[in-house]
């Protein structure tokens, strides 16, 4: 019967219950107070009645609040989150009408809007499908062509950031550090020799040939710089100076949106920078146990997210020798055995590589304090400082879906239509990839909530972090 009532009527009934319940509480208190007044004094009777009425009204208010919270407030919050996931995260499927059954016409109206959004998105997707297929085919041909050309190609933007590199370029960068889009080219090459060539390129507008020195001065490369329209330059390295395996083909890695990046944007205070302007290093670890102060890492996986998308070709998937036997119970979860980690690098080397991989990036993890604790413990021996800004997808989930919801990685993936292949669940790279996909869908949802800058998100996560602590 209640499900047929409008939302206004239901809220009216809550207030009626509160009003009549309050009157009844006062009446009951006065009746008992009258009895006390007959047995003792009038003042005693009125005092007793006042105290009893206060407790009854307080209990009634708490009960009605709990009822309202469970049947109105929480369903509205859940409905809003579901609509936001469909509007901004590309999630389809029907809304949970059972949870919103007491919200009157609000739930059917929200369902109609969500269906309209789905239909519109489907129509748009169909319209661009053929064009996407054409562009994909052209990209494949371009990648194959560049792979066959015996030079390494790196496109550098106006601000000195890496915008594109081909397979050979990836190999060159890998010899000097960890290949990363949006990294400064001077992270890999000596600024003095490169800077002189770039200055000459700017003065003459003509190709410049020079010898590029590695950052550490141990390697040199015959290099040509070619100016690009709109600023920036193409860096072409002669294959004769390269140490590249003939089978070392990698996909073409690029993001041309970086060419539009404003100069000085990277120098802005991290708290004032828009979420979409940041680079994210999303990682996960598998360990010998659940105690960061005594257990050790056996596997580390990481991917990079830039401009709201996962960068294919930039990842870490590394087994780690913990220097101790792996308990059978842990192996049962992550499938990493003693034989698999034998001869693998230790956490000091892997931690240093991940530190380079995450340079100038926000580190993201699901339940970040757990994974970061293992890295902090080895920081001194590794020779690095983990002073990166951190985002925790557990807290982001609380911001978007409410503290009362489940915030496990599996629950998030189910909520956002992210699929973790069974064979990759509880592997470091598989969970890191799932966390990255969740993050990519969360970013536009956070912006839709008015959380545009990194600082705004941090402030909101801190508030919800306290809420989660209180709930636990």
Which sequence spans correspond to the domains of the chain? Answer: 2-118, 149-254, 270-471
* Residue with more model confidence, 282 or 126: 282
Query: Is 148 a residue whose pLDDT tops 60?
Result: no
- Name the average pLDDT for the chain: 83
Helix (H/G/I), strand (E/B), else coil: 101? coil
CATH 3.30.420.10 fits 270-471, yes or no: yes
Neighbours of 199 (CB within 10 A): 11
What pLDDT is stored for residue 69 in this prediction? 81
Give the separation between CA 258 and CA 182, rounded to whole angstroms: 7
| Averaged pLDDT, 194-220 | 91
Which of 34-43, 69-78, 110-119 has the weakest average pLDDT?
Answer: 110-119
In the chain, the percentage of residues whose pLDDT exceeds 90 is 44
What pLDDT is stored for residue 471 in this prediction? 43
**Residue 263 burial (CB < 10 Å; 0-12/13-18/19+)?**
exposed
φ and ψ at 253, to 5 degrees?
-115, 125
pTM: 0.75
Q: Do residues 53 and 26 lie in contact, with contact meaning Cβ atoms separated by under 8 Å? A: yes
Q: Do residues 167 and 313 lie in contact, with contact meaning Cβ atoms separated by under 8 Å? A: no
Helix (H/G/I), strand (E/B), else coil: 237? strand
DSSP string, 129-151: HHHHHHHHHHHHHHHHHHHHSSE
| Averaged pLDDT, 60-65 | 85
What pLDDT is stored for residue 356 in this prediction? 94
Q: Do residues 251 and 300 lie in contact, with contact meaning Cβ atoms separated by under 8 Å? A: no
| Averaged pLDDT, 26-36 | 84
**Residue 141 burial (CB < 10 Å; 0-12/13-18/19+)?**
exposed
* Beta pairing class for 162-165 and 151-156: antiparallel
Q: Do residues 46 and 33 lie in contact, with contact meaning Cβ atoms separated by under 8 Å? A: yes
Give the separation between CA 78 and CA 101, rounded to whole angstroms: 12
What pLDDT is stored for residue 23 in this prediction? 87
Question: DSSP 3-state helix, strand, coil percentages of the chain (rounded to 5)?
Answer: 55, 15, 30
In the chain, the percentage of residues whose pLDDT exceeds 70 is 79
Query: Is 195 a residue whose pLDDT tops 60?
Result: yes
* Beta pairing class for 279-287 and 253-254: unpaired
With a CB cutoff of 8 Å and minimum separation 6, the contacts of 218 are none
What pLDDT is stored for residue 470 in this prediction? 47
pLDDT confidence tier of residue 472, bands split at 50, 70 and 90: very low
**Residue 441 burial (CB < 10 Å; 0-12/13-18/19+)?**
buried
What DSSP designation does 296 have?
Answer: -
Q: What is the pLDDT of residues 171-190, one digit of tens each?
A: 889 889 999 999 999 999 99
What pLDDT is stored for residue 387 in this prediction? 92
Contacts 24+ apart (CB under 8 A), 24-28: 25/53, 25/56, 25/57, 25/60, 26/53, 26/57, 28/52, 28/53, 28/56
The CATH number corresponding to 149-254 among 3.30.450.20, 3.40.50.720, 1.10.1330.10, 3.30.70.260 equals 3.30.450.20
What pLDDT is stored for residue 117 in this prediction? 61
Which of 5-14, 244-253, 389-398, 433-442 has the weakest average pLDDT?
Answer: 244-253
Name the maximum alpha-carbon separation found in the chain: 109
What pLDDT is stored for residue 146 in this prediction? 56
Q: What is the pLDDT of residues 424-460, one digit of tens each?
A: 888 999 999 999 999 999 999 999 889 999 999 999 9
* Residue with more model confidence, 196 or 39: 196
């Amino acid at each position: 019967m209640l499900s047929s009532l409008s939302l206004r009527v239901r809220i009216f009934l809550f207030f009626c219950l509160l009003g009549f319940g309050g009157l009844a509480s006062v009446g009951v208190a006065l009746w008992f107070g009258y009895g006390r007044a007959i047995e003792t004094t009038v003042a005693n009777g009125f005092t007793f009645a006042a105290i009893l009425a206060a407790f009854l009204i307080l209990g009634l208010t708490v009960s009605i609040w709990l009822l309202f919270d469970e049947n109105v407030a929480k369903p509205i919050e859940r409905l809003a989150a579901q609509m936001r996931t469909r509007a901004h995260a590309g999630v389809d499927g029907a809304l949970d009408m059972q949870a919103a059954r007491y919200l009157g016409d609000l739930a059917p109206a929200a369902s109609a809007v969500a269906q309209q959004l789905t239909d519109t998105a489907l129509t748009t997707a169909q319209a661009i499908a053929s064009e996407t297929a054409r562009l994909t085919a052209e990209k494949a041909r371009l990648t194959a062509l560049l792979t066959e050309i015996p030079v390494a190609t790196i496109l550098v933007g106006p601000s000195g950031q890496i915008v594109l590199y081909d397979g050979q370029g990836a190999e060159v960068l890998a010899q000097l550090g960890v290949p990363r889009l949006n990294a400064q080219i001077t992270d890999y090459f000596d600024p003095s020799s490169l800077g002189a060539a770039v200055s000459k390129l700017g003065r003459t507008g003509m190709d410049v040939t020079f010898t590029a020195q590695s950052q550490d001065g141990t390697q040199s490369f015959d290099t040509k710089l070619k100016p690009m329209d709109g600023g920036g330059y193409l860096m072409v390295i002669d294959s004769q100076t390269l140490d590249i395996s003939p089978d070392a083909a990698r996909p073409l890695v690029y993001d041309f949106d970086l060419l539009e990046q404003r100069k000085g944007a990277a120098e802005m205070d991290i708290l004032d920078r828009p979420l979409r302007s940041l680079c994210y290093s999303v990682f996960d670890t598998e360990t010998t146990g659940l105690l960061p102060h005594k257990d050790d890492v056996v596997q580390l996986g990481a991917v990079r997210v830039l401009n709201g998308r996962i960068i294919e070709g930039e990842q870490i998937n590394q087994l780690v020798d913990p220097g101790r036997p792996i308990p059978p119970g842990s192996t049962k979860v992550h499938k990493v055995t003693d034989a698999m980690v034998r001869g693998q690098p230790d956490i000091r080397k892997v931690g240093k590589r991940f530190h380079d991989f995450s340079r100038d990036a926000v580190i993201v993890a699901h339940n970040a304090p757990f994974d970061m604790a293992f890295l902090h413990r080895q920081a001194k021996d590794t020779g690095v400082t983990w002073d990166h800004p951190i985002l925790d997808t557990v807290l982001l989930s609380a911001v978007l879906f409410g503290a009362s919801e489940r915030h496990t990685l599996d629950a998030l993936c189910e909520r956002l239509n992210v699929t973790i292949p069974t064979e990759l669940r509880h592997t470091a790279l598989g969970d890191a990839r799932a966390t990255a996909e969740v993050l990519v869908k969360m970013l536009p949802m956070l912006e839709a909530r008015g959380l545009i800058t990194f600082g705004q998100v941090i402030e909101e996560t801190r508030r919800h972090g306290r809420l989660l602590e209180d709930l636990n």
